[in-house]
Chain A
Amino acid sequence: MKCDIKIYTLWYAENSSFLRYAALPRENVCTENLTPWKKLLPCDTRRGLAMLLHPAPLYTAHYHALSIHLRPTCQDESCTSSHLELVQALSLVQNPTVSMEGHQDWSLRQLFSAPLISTCPLASMSKVYVDVTTNKDRQSFILYPEPDSIDVSGSGDSLRHLAVYDARQALNNDIFDLEAHYQSRHVYGLIPPPHLHVSRFVTGYGQEGGSITVKLTNTGGQPLSVVYLEVLPWYLRLFLHTSHTHQQMQSAYMSKLVTARDRERGWLYEAVVEIPAGATKELSLEFTRALLKWLEYPPDANHGFYIPAATVSVVLPTPRNVSVNSLDGTCLKDKLILNEGASFVRIHTETLLVSLPTPDFSMPYNVICLACTVVALAFGPIHNITTKKLVLKKIEDKASPLSKLLTKLKSLLKRSKMEEKETKGTDNKQEPVIVEENPLYDDREELEDIKEEEESEEDKTASEDENKKDR
């Protein structure tokens, strides 16, 4: 099997319009993803290194990543036809010392709950590599069984010592359980930070707004130019003018922005940030939170909404602290040999959780009724004053409530009967009374007669009272 196969064509890698970027921030990687991933392997889960991958120890690890890479590669030297190359990678960070009171001896059985018992017959090679760069002179730990060889590559920041085990040969003894025995217990010390580290968080409190702040720290000796790409959902309404004022434009240049449309597309924001050596740069995007329609909330609406991780792409000047920086090779061995000089690194920031204001989900009918009540409260009186006419009525002397009731009943039975105020200057107060003016009534003529008589008087006082009714 050749390890140095060329890429078939690079056209897809050089034209950024072919880039598609998607993120599912809420999904957790779990056994559901691991099982189909394992089934892509030629020997499935029945033989080979994949037998080490039991779910329980994998998902108690501190960091876990699965990846699949597909690319067209040349079939032979002349590169006339292409193969499709599939590279599957599983990254795991485990911390066995925590449960062992500082003892840091580890073995395959302990890390994966089973040793290696077979290799895949379809594989052309099956190797295990251990990075022993820090173990010169075997002072820190001793590997058991002894490695078949130790490959040294690179120098300076790209120096690598790799202990190589050929799994096929090791399995002549039926079981291959790689162990490391350490001389002393582990002491947590100061860990030198990597060349570039990124931290992203939400500032502000409450559910009205906030801002997404990114802190980019460059601990190296050279300035770095970093591309920051972020995809945000539409319900965080960004206000970019606060973060891209004139002063800030010098160090952070917004290279691409696709504005969001409500319920159609989200935000795509890309900025290029210049970070001087040994400095920290901050980028902060102010947003306000939208109120969604009640059916757009997930069942656990008060959990919040996830914001996908942002991507930071940088070309580091040295491969210090980089695992793999050669993209050309196919075999793991070639990838583990670091190239001196620039290394391309893509870092993903933390995902964020923002909680949006929620309406009360139990109240749709109540809300509709109450809002319509207010509309009706306006409609009713307006309808009243625009369809009814005010007419004067002489007030009666104070009568007992019973006689009043009787007169009211009488008036209801006899239909509306209006009396006119005959003399002016009486000492009775004028009390306007609302009378139904309905053209269907029989005594419309009576109405019209009376109307003519009191029209002049009514003009002045009626307009006054109309205005009063308006209020």
Chain B
Amino acid sequence: MNTPWAECIAKRVELSTPLNSWKRVEEGVFLHSQGIAVYSGGVFHETPFCLLFGGFLIRSWQSYLHLIFVGCDLLTAALLASVASSYSRQLLEQQKNAVSQFASDASHLLLTSSALGTGVVYVAAAYLFCPYTIASCVAQTTSVFANLIIAAAFASMVKGYPVIFGTLVALVAYQSFYPVCLMVPGILFFMQNDSHNLKAALLKPLLSFLVSLGLLMVISAEVAGGWEFLEATYGFILAAPDLTPNIGLFWYFFTEMFEHFRLFFLATFQINAFVYVLPLAIRLRKDPVLLATALLAFTAVFRSYPALGDVGIYLSLLPMWKHLYPFMRQTFIVGCMFVATSVLGPIMYNLWIFSGSANANFYFAVTLAFNTAQVMQG
């Protein structure tokens, strides 16, 4: 992170969006220190809590900042590994209970504890060595913190702590809005685990979510001096006015949009990000962890300002299901598409912005191919 590459990487649009760029946090903290209303401008779109937290980090820990980011990544990897081990234990138990109903020659499909053990290592390694998460960490984006909270939420869900789960989901939804859909798999999980006390299983996480969210909102209003931060944060996420290129679908679509239809398509796209929650919940009701990962994947593709950090976290959760890899079709093609689009994307962006030789279309096409690969993967 101390190399000259760090500054170059931090500017890359695939990693830093207007929502998670650390430079904007620094700018917000600076404006706050000058006594200028931070949310009246169009530069800072993080939550007031992030303003406080970022301010604290910048003022007191400026020289250790990269260590903090690396530490968060390591913590996230540890949490994901614990999620993987708990989940695999649960899968084994479920299989043990149902093994009598299986066909005898389906034995090669059975899960073994050794295979699942390596799955745990793979999950941790996938998060630590995934180029997307490493780059996100080097670029010092706030996706690192969001991933940490998501991993903690997964861990609390799998280990069965509904109140903590509700609080963590409230925290991450407060920061980046879309992970609010993680409540559904969480509630499903708690209801399945605690089948004799359904009402409590439903109410505990929900109540803790609402209470935490309310508290956070009130604190934010205090810090930001009013409720105008809502327009600058959630209004910004929903209305997507900033058309900076990123790896998502929104920016070019709304650049080339006729004004007349803007609201309609905005509503459509935002609903599209959430429309898969219910059908997938019904379909995957027996496996909430898989549901949660699938929802993470779909929000990473369809959110208004995606970044590679969001892609990294669900990719690193996939090794939990490596016993299903033989059944997956097109792994080769999808894998090649991921690699090819990840290499071509920055090249096309450079050609458009710096050399002036190519067009925005090339970069958008590569982005579309990347999203298609993600969709096929998910």
Contact = CB atoms under 8 A, between A and B. Distances in A.
Q: Say whether A associates with B.
A: yes
Interface of A: 205-209, 234, 237-241, 244, 254, 257, 259-263, 288, 290-295, 357-360, 363-364, 367-368, 370-371, 373-375, 377-379, 382-383, 385-387, 424-425, 456-457, 459-461, 463-468, 470-471
B53 interface: no
Contacts of B102: 460
B298 interface: yes
Which among A257, A360, A383, A425 has the highest number of chain B CB atoms within 10 Å?
A: A360
A291 B249 contact: no
Contacts, number: 176
A291 B256 contact: no
B122 interface: no
B11 interface: yes
Given A207-B353, A457-B103, A460-B102, A471 B329 contact: yes
B222 interface: no
Nearest to B37: A259
A425 B30 contact: no
30 contacts: A207-B352, A239-B23, A240-B30, A241-B26, A241-B27, A257-B34, A259-B31, A259-B40, A259-B41, A261-B41, A263-B241, A288-B244, A290-B243, A293-B259, A357-B352, A364-B258, A367-B256, A368-B256, A378-B378, A382-B276, A386-B280, A386-B282, A424-B105, A425-B103, A425-B104, A457-B101, A460-B106, A467-B290, A471-B328, A471-B329
Given A239-B27, A471-B329, A385 B283 contact: yes
A293 B359 contact: no
Contacts of A238: 43
Contact of A374 (B244, B259, B287, B368): B368
A465 B255 CA distance: 41
Contact of A470 (B272, B294, B301): B294
B225 to A, nearest CB: 15
A95 B250 CA distance: 55
| Chain B CB within 10 A, most for which of A241, A292, A364, A373 | A241
Contacts of A241: 26-27, 29-30
A292 B41 CA distance: 17
A459 B103 CA distance: 11
Contacts of A205: 354
B109 interface: yes
B294 A295 contact: no
Contact of A294 (B106, B249, B255, B359): B255
A373 B365 CA distance: 12
A386 B277 CA distance: 11
Given A367-B252, A464-B324, A295 B286 contact: no
B83 to A, nearest CB: 18
Contact of A261 (B42, B109, B328, B352): B42
Interface stretch (B132-140, B147-155, B202-210, B369-377): B369-377
Interface in B282-297: 282-284, 286-287, 290, 294
Contact of A368 (B253, B321, B356, B361): B253
B30 A244 contact: yes
A26 B244 CA distance: 25
A461 B98 CA distance: 12
A261 to B, nearest CB: 5
Interface in B28-63: 29-31, 34, 36-37, 40-43
Nearest to B35: A257
Contacts of B321: 467
A468 B109 CA distance: 13
B360 interface: yes
B245 interface: yes
B331 to A, nearest CB: 8
Given A239-B27, A460-B102, A460-B106, A360 B324 contact: no
A241 B28 CA distance: 9
Nearest to B286: A463
B300 to A, nearest CB: 12
Contact of A359 (B109, B256, B280): B256
B353 A357 contact: yes
Nearest to B272: A375
A292 B257 CA distance: 11
A375 B249 contact: yes
B356 A207 contact: yes
Contacts of A460: 98, 101-102, 106
A69 B27 CA distance: 40
A372 B257 CA distance: 13
Given A377-B375, A386-B283, A471-B328, A425 B241 contact: no
